[in-house]
Each structure stands twice: as structure tokens, then as C-alpha cells.
Structure 1
Amino acid sequence: MARPRKKTLDGKPLSKTNLVLPERALDLIDKSKPLASQVYGVLRYSIIEMSIEPGKLIPERDVCDLLDVSRTPIREALLRLSDEGLVHIIPNSGTYVSKIDLDSVFEGQLVRRALERETVRIAALRMTQESRSQLDISMFSQRRLAQDRDLAAFYEADEEFHKLICRIGTSDRVWRIIHSAKAQLDRVRRLAFPLPNHMETVLEEHETIVAAIVAGDSTSAEQAIDRHLNRVVETVKALVNGKPELFSDEALTAIEKYSVLFADKNTSR
């Protein structure tokens, strides 16, 4: 007699696939860092990039073979990803990439907005010539990538841009808090780049943020980052309409619930 197919946490059939990790993810491997941290970085990148789509199995044995590591660091990495809501670990079945949960997306956005408002404000007050040079280099790279329409590389440059501002204003410790809080949000951000004019809008907003920081205008810098981050609702709506299968069943309810928090400035990345 055929064995019944196992179900996911929401009762739907599991979707299995052969594991494929993008070259960019494998390039993140740094032998000087702990194995679990490396595996986490590779898998997180692959999930954010949608190389491993929602509902797909992450087979531990395949990860072991691809990364040439034992199962211990893989399980540590998967537990960390589970804490961020990026995967479901189902006993006696396996680990599956979760659908995008919009409650987590908006909660992450609230944390990000609160902290980045402060980091960009302080960055403007702490501006130095070295910091200005770093921002100039970042913007030069972003312009080039936008011109080349390299969406994956632009997303990475986008991440580094916000990390740099955080470092100038506060510290890498604060960025780690932001990074952990926005795991679900990052999938939305990455999915948004192919939308019409999205990358160009992001670039223009980055230019405005940098101009305010370099001028030492903390109020304008805070207002610019606020406008930049508060477009998240419109971005989410466009993505849910275009690819509803990637989102949890409560997506529309979550949009309605959180829209009021961003309604005054509907202008994420």
C-alpha cells in the first residue's frame, strides 16, 4: 500500500526539489568564520534570492555534500533560520522554506524604521571626510550596477549602503539587530527589484539620504530615510497581487492591519 504523503504545518502537501545554491551564495564562504555561521549565510542568501522557493525542501544531506560540512553546523544554521521565520522544521519530515509571513515583514519594518531613523540622524552629526568618501564609493557602485541592470548585485550594494550608514552613525552591533529583525522583510525587498522603476527609485532615494548626511542635516536625513522605508506597503501590495503563491494565506489581512502605520508616508524598498 502506498504511504500517504506527509503534510506541512498548514496541512498542504510538501513540495520537494533538488537543492541548487547560487554561486553568489557560495562566494560568501569564509573559512576563517565558524562553520555554522557560514552555512547560515549561504542558506539565508539562497532563501532571500528565491533560489530555494517557499515550500521547498532543504535536504541536509545535499547541503553537507555541497558545502563539505558535517550535519552539526547545518542543524545549527537551520535552527537560526527557523528563529527568523525563514524555514519550518517539521519533525520526521525535514526542513522547508516558509512562505513570506507579512506580519513578520511589517514587524521587521517597524524595528528597522525605528533604528535606522536614529542611525541616519546620528550619522549626519558624526560625518567625517572618511565617511563621506565611503558613501561616495557606495553611491558610485550603486549607479554603475543600476546602469548595468544587475539586480542581484544592486540588492547586495543596497544592503551594504544601509550597513555603512549604521556603522557611521552607531556600530555593527546595531546593524546585527536590524539584520536579524528584517529576515522576512528582506525577501520582499529582493523580490521588489524587478518591479518597474523600483531600482531607479531606490537609487534616487539613496542619493537624497546621502546628500542630507553629508550636509550634516540630521532632520532632513531622518525625513529622507523615513520616506525611503515607508513605501513598503505599496511594494507589498504589488508583490502580493503579482505572486500570491509566495505569501501566507493571511497576506491581505496583514496589509490592512499595518497600512495605517505607514499611511501618511506611502511614498520599501
Structure 2
Amino acid sequence: MNINEIALFKHSSFNIGDSVYYTLRKNIVALNLKPGEALSIKDISDQWNVSRSPVRDALIKLEKEGLVDIIPQKGTIVSKIDLKRVAEERFLRESLEEHAVREFIKTYKESDIAILRHYIEMQLQSLKDNDYTSFLAFDDSFHSVFFKSIDKNMCWEIIESMSGHYKRIRLMSLWDEKILSNVVLQHQEVLENICNNNLEGAVEILRKHLTKISTEEMELLEKYPDYFKEQDHHNLTAKSFYGTI
């Protein structure tokens, strides 16, 4: 964790409690804090020169989001990725975003298209720089345009606040350069279909884009078993199979 991040928050409109929460959350989602890694209230408060109370409050809030596990008499760890929760978070996003795109294609402005193109260009630059975190941030920015353009900001905020497990596995999947290139290609295809007023084409590509990670879950689970919560392998295999249909 970068102590400069908390320093920036201290000079912003955030209070200390929010600063600690957002900084911890950012580092968990970005995998700077690894799944299963121990978190010490004392160490965090000492490192950031804050009292233990806001650190404790931040961890309680993160536990409610499923991003940390507070174990009585043992301490706090970064939660391991739960593939059942990943599936639910993906379902939430897919359901809301499909409706958003259907509304967006009826009302979008040329300025919206320009913004979408800009985020694709920024993703291409991140790809050249091997900057996975920025790539994922621009990926989210691309998708957020559909919600903001139709004045459904709260829906996007719900997705953002409830996608910690999904975001982590998305970031892990981006460690494969071929997958990175496919993400950009799918964004370009979504945009092309929108510009051609092909709603069903845009929605179909969007579905593939959002559900593609289900085909990669088993490979990631085998590659990084320590990052994942123990799964019911029978149900997991079935979900991964149906997720590809």
C-alpha cells in the first residue's frame, strides 16, 4: 500500500474514516493486497498515522461487502475470491447493463460516442504500457457511459459497490495478453453496432463480453488456488459450463 494515497485523501474532502476505507478497498480490488493476506489494525494505523478506530470501522464496512473476513480471536484477512459471489455480481451487472444499453441506443449523443472512443484509445495505450490496473479502470469507464448518459448513475454505483470479487477475477484474467486484446475488440464491436443502430447485435456482444470470464474461472482456479475460497467443484463446473452458452 502506498502511504501517499492516504496523504492525498487527508487533503481532500474525504474524512479520515472514508480515506482509510477507500484506500484499503482500492488496494484489495487491485490485488495489491492479496486474497488471504493478513491485515493488522495496529500496522495500518501506524503506517498511515491514524487512530485505530477509523481502521476498525473501515474493516467492518469491507467485511459487509465481502472483501475482508474478520475472524474472532484470530484477526482479519483479505477475503479469498468466492466464485459463487463472482457469478452473482456478474449476473447483477449483466442484467442492469443490458437494460442500460437498450435505453442508451435510443437517446445517445455524438458526444457519448466520442467518450466511448476515447476510453477505447486509453485502453489501447494501457495495453502498450502493460498497465493492467489502468486498463481495467478504463474498461469500467467505458461501461459507465451507458448508465451516465441515461441518468442512471445510482445503478452504476450499485454495480461498483457490489463487484469486488468480480473485479478481482477480471483483473487476474487480464494477465493474459490475448484476453486483453479481445476485451478491446469487443468494445469496438459493441460501439460499431451501436453506431449502426443494431441493438440486438450490441446486446449480444455485450453478453459475451460480460460472461466470457466464466470460461476462464477454472483455469484461474487451478493456476492460483490460494487466491480462491474452497468451492463445490460439481456446482462450479456446472456453472462454468452453463455460463459459456
TM-score w.r.t. the length of structure 2 is 0.89
Question: How many residues of Structure 1 are paired with residues of Structure 2 in the alignment?
Answer: 244
1:88 to 2:33 alignment: no
Counterpart selection for 1:239 from 203, 220, 226 = 220
Change over 3 Å in CA distance of 1:249–1:24 after alignment to 2: farther
Contact kept, 8 Å, 1:127 with 1:214, in 2: the verdict is no
Q: Name the amino acid aligned to 2:87.
A: F
Provide the residue aligned with 2:136 in structure 1.
Answer: 155
1:121 to 2:99 alignment: no
Provide the residue aligned with 1:220 in structure 2.
Answer: 201
Provide the residue aligned with 1:103 in structure 2.
Answer: 84
Change over 3 Å in CA distance of 1:37–1:163 after alignment to 2: farther
1:1-269 aligned at under 5 Å gives the runs 21-22=1-2, 29=9, 31-250=12-231, 252-264=233-245
Cα offset for 1:113? Answer: 0.9
Structure 1 unaligned residues grouped into runs of 5+: 1-20, 265-269
- What do you get for the CA RMSD once the two structures are aligned? 2.2
Change over 3 Å in CA distance of 1:212–1:232 after alignment to 2: same
C-alpha separation in 2, matches of 1:27 and 1:257: 46
Q: Name the amino acid aligned to 1:95.
A: T
Percent identity among equivalent residues? 27
Q: Name the amino acid aligned to 2:169.
A: V
C-alpha separation in 2, matches of 1:36 and 1:231: 36
**Deviation digits for residues 209-255 of structure 1, max 9, x if unmatched?**
12223334332221121010121211212201211121112163442
**Deviation digits for residues 157-192 of structure 1, max 9, x if unmatched?**
112222222212342210111112221111101111
Q: Name the amino acid aligned to 1:155.
A: L
Structure 2 unaligned residues grouped into runs of 5+: none
C-alpha separation in 1, matches of 2:29 and 2:180: 17
Change over 3 Å in CA distance of 1:65–1:160 after alignment to 2: farther
Change over 3 Å in CA distance of 1:128–1:258 after alignment to 2: same
Cα offset for 1:69? Answer: 2.9
C-alpha separation in 2, matches of 1:220 and 1:24: 45
Contact kept, 8 Å, 2:183 with 2:209, in 1: the verdict is yes
Contact kept, 8 Å, 2:215 with 2:241, in 1: the verdict is no
Change over 3 Å in CA distance of 1:145–1:28 after alignment to 2: farther
SS of 2:32's equivalent? coil
Change over 3 Å in CA distance of 1:85–1:234 after alignment to 2: same
Cα offset for 1:28? Answer: 7.3
SS of 1:248's equivalent? coil
Cα offset for 1:32? Answer: 0.8
